Amino acid sequence: MATITAPTSEKAAPPGILTHPATRKLLALAALAAVLVPLAVTQWGGATWPSALTVDVSEPLGRASDWIIDNRDSHPLFLYFFGHVSNIVVVAVRAVYLALLAVGWAGVTAIGALVAWRVAGVKLAAGTAAAFLACGLLGMWVPTMQTLALMVVAVLASVGVGALLGLAAGLSDRMDRVLRPVLDTMQVLPAFAYLLPVVLVFGIGVPAAVLATVVYAAPPMARLTSLGLRGADREVLEAVESLGTTARQRLLTARIPLARKELLLGVNQTIMMALSMAVIASVIGAGGLGDRVYQALASVDVGAALAAGIPIVLLAVVLDRVTGAAGERLGESGKSPVTWLYALVVAAAVALAGRLAGFLDWPDGWDLNIAEPVNRAVDWMTAHLYSGVPVVGGTADWAAHFTSWILNPLRDGLQWLPWWSVLLIVAALAWLIGTWRTALTAVLAMAAIGVLGVWDPSLDTLSQVLAAVAVTLVVGFATGIAAARGDRFERLLRPVLDVFQTMPQFVYLIPVVALFGVGRAPAVAAAVVYALPAVVRITAQGLRQVDPAAMESARSLGATSGQQLRQVQLPLARPALLLAVNQGVVLVLAVVIIGGLVGGGALGYQVVFGLAQGDLATGLVAGAAIVCLGLMLDRVTQPTERRTTKKGA
Amino acid sequence: MRMRTTTALAGVAALTLLTGCGAADMTKQASPYANAQGARTVTLSVQSWVGAQANVAVAQYLLEHELGYRVDTVQVDEVPAWDALSQGRVDAILEDWGHPEQEQRYVQDKKTIAAGGDLGVTGHIGWFVPTYFAKKHPDVTNWKNLDKYADLLRTAESGGKGQLLDGSPSYVTNDKALVKNLDLDYQVVFAGSEAAQITQMQQFAKEKKPFLSYWYTPQWLMEKVPMTEVKLPPYEEGCDADPEKVACAYPVTPLQKYLNAGFAKEGGKAAEFLKRFKWTTEDQNQVSLMIAEQKMRPEEAAKKWVDGHESVWKQWLP
């Protein structure tokens, strides 16, 4: 990955080399290392993190967890605070769920379509109706409603919390300084890391699932709210101020309306992240569609997993498009409240008619069994591709080769490196690409992993991440370049990318095992599939946004197509490519962790183990190490100026 | 300024009102999806293995069609399921493989969970090799000879040692300690989930490759991939007391049912039915095979079994 992103400016003239910022940074680091490394080596030699520098937290954590379980029904903290929080969540989810059931399937479909029609037009209305009907046809109506109920509550709470935080950060510079690093960090954390602490307090079930979702989905809303408030046009604000308005009036009449676009984008992001979490939260008893996917995986039933996964994808695509369209249409006026009233009346009428006609539950006979054909296809695939394919060998052989030629040497190499040199490499990479602050955060995060006593498993996870990122970038850049240069190819690619980005990660864990066996190779494969769409998208977008004038002049100079790409497009798109690397790393980490479910081992396995055995000491330490690893990887690949980016849903 | 204090006061007052000033016991909260639309609901915990799915499928079918309940199922791992059961978020666990610590805490001390009797199925955990491999090398079925075959059982994941395939982290296992204490040249490789483990074993079996795996009976895969158990040093009462020092085989466990204490008392016909639910290993395997191998939907598999075994389930009805 270093070869792709290496700056081309190394051709600088020799006299200037000492003043080049990168060289200066490296020299400073080398000087620092020259002092510190001999000290560290004489004190604590060896490759792995010195045991003298670790802190064993398992005993206090174990005691804390026992204390919580024993006092959950008696201690005031639980009775008067967490108990009420949990109660409110249960009551709210239940209210929405009962309302959805009372409206019936015909009513829900009609209301969904009418709302989509009003905010986004006829085409999306038809799409929405079709999506709801498909959920019913797949035999997933009740689970879909359960997920929808949970989503409504979680999204409302996330938007509320996020907007409040964003408001605080947008209005006060001090709050902004405090919150920004926190929000930045939360956005790079894998969803799996959130589960354990919430379960610790609330136990398995819907309240824990909703709260974990809120923690995961609120940060983008907060970031975008703050961004919107800060980005408001100075001149407009001054004009409003000159009218003698109070601060509150200015906020309500000018700043918030001006930030509408960002606010809606925030809502959109929050919805997407909440949906992806709704599936992962099935591990802690969220119920609904995610639980169906999870149950299907237990019996290795890809077809059934897909039948529950498709409604999730449909919900995601519909919600994404409708909120997106609402954002684009914001400026337009001409929607009178009267048409809303009509829409409401029609919806109420349909719901009532459905009720009277007894169309509440989805009719029994109306479903489509897709599980069988899908399973047959998967069986065929694994039977014919697993091994013994002439010339190229089977997928099992690839996996074995990948493991023994790439993953094993990479892991062993990382674990062989002395611990201080790992810190040094991290510092160098982070400083070269960012500032001394990002370098310091990265080094501290890496050191924290050592202190927690999970140095070796973390390096194991790191080796999987590096291998997966390398594959993702090679494939992703190639596809992205192809998509940027061919309109037709991009049109073909778009729906595929949409589906892969919204498909719950759980769904492709089993086919991956069927193809690559158990171990680290399938974990890496799943991670590549998950991270690829975002990398392809960002690359294609970055290449397309290259100034047409620059391209034109290159062409007029007689550059060939390849030369244009190498010498003009790629260098000019460098920020986008760096962003793609950063996003790729973050997304890959999220799935490599989930790979613990298919034999990925290392940190992911420890989190799964902690959840499954209620062993918080193991789980929380691994979770904290994942957090540190995520932080380190993000800082090492983070360009100096971060933009607000889409984290793949 | 005064305005702000008033708002704050009003907020605090509203919050107090909203929360009802009282205590809220979160350890007694049902699932929000329970008892919707006036239906009587039972929430069953499904564990991640198929035998457990078979129990739940049949119980669900009979509860819905014979007793008129609505049944919700949630998949939760074993240990957290005990916690959820004590909170009333699930009403029953139909198949438990023995969790003495949890039993002490919830059944004896807190009395939030009540024992529900035998499931009728006896479970056993052990190390297994495929029968085609055991036939070729009969002496592999004793742990003392395992080291001879370490070379044959090597994979990319196990490094230079033989591979002992383990499954989901939620299962009861002493394998790491066993390998260490018996001084075997093996590496425990965790598949991470039973689904992954089964997929891997089926792939091995398709090519008649040897493997050594942590496995258990009753399990439907035994019918598809016949397996032979490897003898470990015999089990004696208490030999597995210290998890670090275990060097003996796994015990034979009569599988148990557990109900939430409140549900056991006030659950009416459903609770009575679940207490009486008891069937044999063959019955369970029949349903499991239909679900996992023929890929029938659990409710279809349950229907098929129920149609053919009226005399068995008639006795369960209250």
Share of chain B above pLDDT 90, in %: 13
Q: What's the pLDDT tens digit per position in A240-272?
A: 777 777 777 777 777 777 778 788 888 888 888
CB contact under 8 A, B32 and A372: no
CB contact under 8 A, B195 and A298: yes
Distance CA(A595)–CA(A592), nearest Å, equals: 5
Q: What's the pLDDT tens digit per position in A406-425?
A: 888 888 888 888 888 888 88
pLDDT at A474: 92
pLDDT at B305: 92
- Let me know: does A204 contact B84? Beta carbons within 8 Å: yes
Q: Mean of the per-residue pLDDT values for chain A? A: 79
Give the residue-averaged pLDDT of A351-356.
73
A147 and B CB contact within 8 Å: no
> Is the pLDDT confidence value at A217 over 50?
yes
What is the token pair recorded at B112?
């939030």
> Is the pLDDT confidence value at B116 over 80?
yes
> Is the pLDDT confidence value at A377 over 90?
no
Q: Which of B232, B305, B269 is nearest to B54 (CA)?
A: B305
Which residue is closest to B154 within chain A, CA to CA? A400
- Let me know: does A528 contact A475? Beta carbons within 8 Å: yes
- Let me know: does B298 contact B57? Beta carbons within 8 Å: yes
Chain A residues within an 8 Å CB radius of B198: 300
Phi and psi, residue A392, nearest 5°: -85, -15
pLDDT at A570: 81
How many residue pairs bridge chain A and chain B with CB atoms within 8 Å of each other? 214
Amino acid letter, residue B275: K
Q: Using N-to-C axis directions, what is the helix angle for A260-280 and A302-328, rounded to 10°?
A: 170
What is the token pair recorded at A453?
């006593």
Distance CA(A302)–CA(A510), nearest Å, equals: 7
pLDDT at A329: 67
> Is the pLDDT confidence value at B128 over 60?
yes
Distance CA(A612)–CA(B78), nearest Å, equals: 7
A300 and B CB contact within 8 Å: yes
Chain A residues within an 8 Å CB radius of B71: none
B41-46 and B212-217: which strand pairing? unpaired
Q: How close B73 gets to chain A, by Cα (Å)?
A: 8
Q: What's the pLDDT tens digit per position in A469-525?
A: 999 999 999 998 888 888 888 888 888 887 777 776 776 776 777 778 777 888 898
Q: Sorting pLDDT into bands at 50, 70 and 90, what band is B61?
A: very high
> Is the pLDDT confidence value at A647 over 50?
no
Distance CA(A360)–CA(A495), nearest Å, equals: 33
pLDDT at A288: 83
User: Considering the entire predicted model, what is its pTM?
Assistant: 0.79
Phi and psi, residue A188, nearest 5°: -100, 0
Among the partner residues A90, A101, A510, nearest to B37 by beta-carbon distance: A101
CB contact under 8 A, B192 and A597: yes
A490 and B CB contact within 8 Å: no
Give the residue-averaged pLDDT of A26-54.
74
pLDDT at A469: 92
Give the residue-averaged pLDDT of A364-377.
73
Q: From the DSSP assignment, how many helices (H) and strands (E) are in chain B?
A: 13, 9
Share of chain A above pLDDT 70, in %: 88
